[in-house]
Amino acid sequence: MKLEMANEPGWIGGFSRHQARGAIPNGSRIMKTRAEPRDINAVGAFGTVLGSIDAREVDAAFAKRMSADYVYWVEWDDAPKCAVFIVGWKIGRPT
């Protein structure tokens, strides 16, 4: 799988707009549903999916270590134009 990464003008952080099959679609609104102690965004924070990859297709060992089938780039509402990489088990669709 060839992953096109870019630093888009006006954005902080490189990211991909690739959309993995089965992942939350690009442009979808998400919220942080789980966090680890050192995470910057708290549970309940809202954002938008910029891109995703199926970690199992890239590196099965990585996917297993991260306990994640999908990984995402997200733009959090409180940090516009800043792309953040996050494992899929930390986010979900707002209810």
Q: In the predicted model, is pLDDT for residue 49 greater than 70?
A: yes
H/E run at residue 33: none
Mean pLDDT for all residues in the chain: 93
What's the whole-number mean pLDDT along residues 54-74?
89
pTM for this one?
A: 0.91
Q: 6 in helix, strand or coil?
A: strand
Give the model's confidence band at 75: pLDDT under 50 very low, under 70 low, under 90 confident, else very high. Answer: very high
From 46, 43, 55, select the one nearest 87 (Cα to Cα): 55
Residue 64 has pLDDT above 70, yes or no: yes
Of 72, 20, 15, give the one whose Cα is nearest residue 49: 72
Q: What letter would DSSP give residue 15? A: B
Separation of alpha carbons 74 and 40, rounded Å: 13
pLDDT at 3 over 80: no
